[in-house]
Amino acid sequence: MIRKKICLLGSFAVGKTSLVRRFVHSEFSDRYQTTVGVKVDKKLVRVEDQDVSLVIWDLHGEDRWQTVRTSYLRGASGALLVADGTRLETLEVVRGLSQTFLDMNPKATVRVLVNKLDLLESFAIPQEEWRARIDWAPMAFTSAKTGEGVEEAFEALARGGSA
C-alpha cells in the first residue's frame, strides 16, 4: 500500500473543497463554506494494480499566498493548484503557490486545475487563453459540480510524483 499526501491549493472560493467532496464523496453543494486551516480527507485509488491511498489536505483559500502555512505543504508528493475559470486573478495566486510548493517539495508533481467548467460562458478568458497562460505546468479544466475532469485530475496526481 502506497500512501500519498496531496495538497489542494488556490485562492479562496475557487472550489477546492468542492473538488475534494466530488472526488471523495461524489457530492456537490452550492453552499459556500470557507475552510479554516486545513481539512484532511482520504480516497483510495488503484494505480497500475496497486492501491494508492491519497490523503488530501484541503488547505484554506489564501489570496496572499505568501502567508500560506508552508508546514502544511511539507512532505506532499503532489498538489492540485486550483484556479477559478471566472476569475483570472486566481491564476496569479496559483502561480505563486506553485512556486512555494515546489520550493518545499522539489520532487513533487503539480497540476493546475481551472475549475467551474460548468460556468464556461462566464469564463474570464477563453479556454485556449487559459491553456496558453498555463504553459509552466500540466493543466486541466474541471467542474466540481458536474464532476467533469475531477477523477482524472486526482488519478493523474496519484500516478506521478513521489513524496
Give the interface with another protein as residue ranges (CB under 8 A): 1-5, 37-38, 40-42, 53, 55, 57, 69, 71-72, 74-77, 162-163
Least gap, CB of 60 to another protein (angstroms): 11
How wide is the angle at C-alpha 68 spanned by C-alphas 163 and 97, nearest 5°? 65
Which is closer to another protein, CB of 15 or CB of 161? 161
Least gap, CB of 82 to another protein (angstroms) = 19
- Percent helix, strand, coil in the chain, to 5, is 35, 30, 35
Read off the C-alpha cell for 123: 469564463
Q: Quick one: 36 or 128, whose CB is closer to another protein?
A: 36
> What whole-number distance in Å separates Cα of residue 105 and Cα of residue 158?
16
Identify which of residues 104 and 125 has a Cβ nearer to another protein in the complex.
104
> What is d(CA 39, CA 46) in angstroms, rounded to the nearest whole number?
23
Contact 14, 115 (CB under 8 A): yes
CB-facing half-sphere around the CA of 117: CA atoms within 13 A: 16
What secondary structure letter does DSSP report for 36? P
Minimum CB separation from another protein for residue 126, in Å? 38
Q: How far is the CB of 25 from another protein (least distance, A)?
A: 13
The residue among 72 and 141 lying less far from another protein, judged by its C-beta, is 72
| Cβ distance to another protein smaller for residue 41 or 151 | 41
At its nearest, how many Å lie between another protein and the CB of residue 2? 5
